[in-house]
Structure 1
């Protein structure tokens, strides 16, 4: 790239690349970001300077993420991008805001990404309250009123349970909580039978204990009719299909994609499919869109962003899943793309590597 000068513009990239993080999600997120960086540099970079990603593995650890933000700020990055896990992104957002560093969060959905409204943090993924209400509507439309949630202790899972309960209760739905810090996966079946649940939602980590729970429920003859669901998107990850095969099909999850990709999305999907040697998840598109937006901001408003407000409300970028603009959504502290496309999908029981759309938000 001889047409680019040697001094690069650096973006700090946060992603879970090792366990206990959802490493598949991190890999797809990074693949999307790296593709966008290459395309930005093929188009003269940022004012003739190459764009460079400085990647740090958060491993689903909030403390590790906060330390990475400090390190990246010290390295002089112009902005931060990425992260998949909500609790981790929250720690990164707090640190970035304190340091005056712009942060565009790719994938984390927790409504309260920051404690106070801030002009430094923006988000592409839909807020949890938006997506999970759509999921609750899907459950109601499918006739489910007694819904069990197998949950682990975490701010994210507790928030999801509360959103579901608040949305379902006025519409005749009941949410039954199963505490997976006290229950073995093999004991879930008895609880479902005792409570008369018709749906079980996996509000737990992947692959443990999500995969053992699915195997246990699938093998329980009493539960042949039960719907297993995973709103947080575990079945989107390629590893899900590898570990569970047919048992992992027919488990609906939230997916932040349109029903049909436009020309840009289709082109990016084709390239990512070749590079990943598998179908790109919606997380890969989030990664691509994150860098595309940041490149637009850096080109238009300069690379010395530290300590100054980012012009999020003036962003207007064509992303892989539609036009991206940011606004203040009620109850959301960060600038928010309101909203990315949302649908409920599952892996097709007739071909577990193929996805079906079950409900459109």
Structure 2
């Protein structure tokens, strides 16, 4: 699926040719389609708001969307295509492994890339000035999650993990942070275990928490159902640091079984006036509560629009502007800096919460920990 939406809500003062931004979004399986839909909604709403305010010095802003379907090779090919179409910059992507492939190709082509949602620390193999990121690095967010586990009294933690650079990095971050503080991590290889065998391992290891480092909806949904129905595991906490319970599909598939599953999300406890206004517009556009991913999409375009107004559509000037960015985003002031261990320009840091769905009211989220 390749889409190039028309420019929504072009303001009265826009004229002439458009300024184009390329957007990478997972819109089909095996990509996380619901996350992609929220990301795209945020991107599109921000483009509409930019054009309603007069565009980029009188020129309409246009979003040229390409579906990555969670495929790194497809994403790299899309970067080549978008660069050839003359986009000024690249935006978006949710899946970390896909964003890494896109970042490598964009860097090689001299195309500035503002990554919206992917958190993998090693977004690029070598430091680069062309790539910036809004989402917090995985090491930052997952350490906060580990602190939450310790504060809740969990020391014997199991992770049900599939093979992936992203999941392996997450398990390593948890292990390195928990071990010096008296916690231990047991890894359950989901290539060889079905949900029933996972339950047996949890009972045998006397784990107090199981973290899902697996794909959604499967095998995550099947594992949750099996654990919830196993009487031996009545006291175990299920967690999903990658954020699977954020989206409505999780609640629809699991109902009450999907509540009380803590996950990471990147929102403040209270939105300011801009965040509240954008949230209301996103809710109308999505016909449901917007996730933090939708806000990430909006903030991505807000940053790029400000850069384009100040520096024009020249790619080299855009890439050189990251350290000068000062934009009021939906979740707070956005500035980029060089962060130790991170090879791209990084917003350090977006707000981070550990939340879950309230068992008494599954549509409501409870904030359990902030960092």
* TM-score range relative to shorter protein: over 0.9
Aligned residue for 2:99?
A: 89
Retained in 1: the 8 A contact 2:308–2:318? no
Corresponding residue to 1:8 among 4, 7, 18 = 18
The count of aligned residue pairs is 361
Whole-Å separation in 2 of the counterparts to 1:85 and 1:133 = 20
CA distance in 2 between partners of 1:293 and 1:193 (Å):
49
CA shift, 1:238, in A, is: 1.2
- Output the CA distance in 1 between the equivalents of 2:316 and 2:89: 8
Give me the whole-angstrom Cα distance separating, in 1, the residues matched to 2:123 and 2:355: 26
The 5 Å alignment of 1:27-46 reads: 27-46=37-56
8 Å CA contact 1:99, 1:307 repeated in 2: no
Q: Is 1:263 the equivalent of 2:273?
A: yes
CA–CA separation in structure 1 for the residues paired with 2:202 and 2:25:
35
Q: 2:31 aligns with which of 4, 21, 29?
A: 21
Describe the SS at the equivalent of 1:303. coil
* 2:197 matches 1:187: yes
In 2, Cα distance between equivalents of 1:242 and 1:170: 39
Task: String of CA shifts for 1:238-263, please: whole Å, max 9, x gaps.
Answer: 11011111110000000100011011
Q: RMSD over aligned Cα, in angstroms?
A: 0.9
Give CA-to-partner distance per residue, 1:264-290, whole Å, 9 cap, x none: 000100111111111100000000000
Shift in Å, 1:2: 4.5
Residue matched to 1:113: 123
**Equivalent in the alignment of 1:79:** 89
Counterpart Cα distance in 2 of 1:103 and 1:358: 33
| Deviation (angstroms), 1:312 | 0.5
Residues 308, 288 of structure 1: CA spacing in aligned structure 2 closer, same or farther, 3 A cutoff? closer
Q: Structure 1 length normalisation: TM-score?
A: 0.99
With 4-13 and 320-329 compared, the bigger mean Cα shift is at 4-13
Runs of at least 4 residues off by over 3 Å = 306-309
Q: Is the 8 A contact 2:311 2:317 kept in 1?
A: no
After superposition, where does 1:165-204 map in structure 2 within 5 Å? 165-204=175-214
Which residue does the alignment assign to 1:70? 80
Equivalents in 1 of 2:254, 2:41: separation in Å? 24
SS at match of 1:218: helix
Structure 2 equivalent of residue 148 of structure 1: 158
The residue number in structure 1 matching 2:256 is: 246
Query: How high is the TM-score relative to the length of structure 2?
Result: 0.96
Structure 1 match to 2:69: 59
Deviations along 1:73-125, one digit per CA (max 9) or x if unpaired, are 01000000000000000000000000000000000000010011111000000
Q: Is the CA contact 2:14–2:58 (under 8 Å) kept in the aligned structure 1?
A: yes
**Number of the residue aligned with 2:368:** 358
1:292 aligns with 2:306: no
Q: 2:315 is paired with a residue of what secondary structure?
A: coil
Residue segments in structure 1 that go unaligned for 5+ positions in a row: none
1:314 pairs, out of 324, 328, 344, with 324
CA distance in 1, matches of 2:208, 2:95: 29
For residue 232 of structure 1, the aligned residue among 239, 242, 247 is 242
Equivalent in the alignment of 2:3: none
User: What SS does structure 2 have at the residue aligned with 1:177?
Assistant: strand
Cα distance in 2 for residues equivalent to 1:226 and 1:44 = 54
Give the SS at the match of 1:138: helix
Offset at residue 185 of structure 1 (A): 1.7
SS in 2 for 1:130: helix
The alpha carbon displacement at 1:306 in A equals 4.9
Per-residue deviation, 1:314: 0.2
Q: Matches of 2:12 and 2:361 in 1, distance apart?
A: 47
Name the SS of the counterpart of 2:293 in structure 1.
helix
For residues 249 and 80 of structure 2, the distance between their equivalents in structure 1, rounded to whole angstroms, comes to 32
Query: 2:285 is matched with which residue: 267, 275, 284?
Result: 275
Q: Give distance in 1, aligned partners of 2:181 and 2:279.
A: 38
* Equivalent position SS for 1:341: coil
CA contact (8 A) 2:312 2:318 kept: no
Alpha-carbon distance in 1 for matches of 2:222, 2:165: 23
Contact 1:100 1:307 in 2 (8 A): no
Give, in whole Å, the separation in 2 of the partners of 1:139 and 1:318: 32
Return the offset for 1:309. 3.5
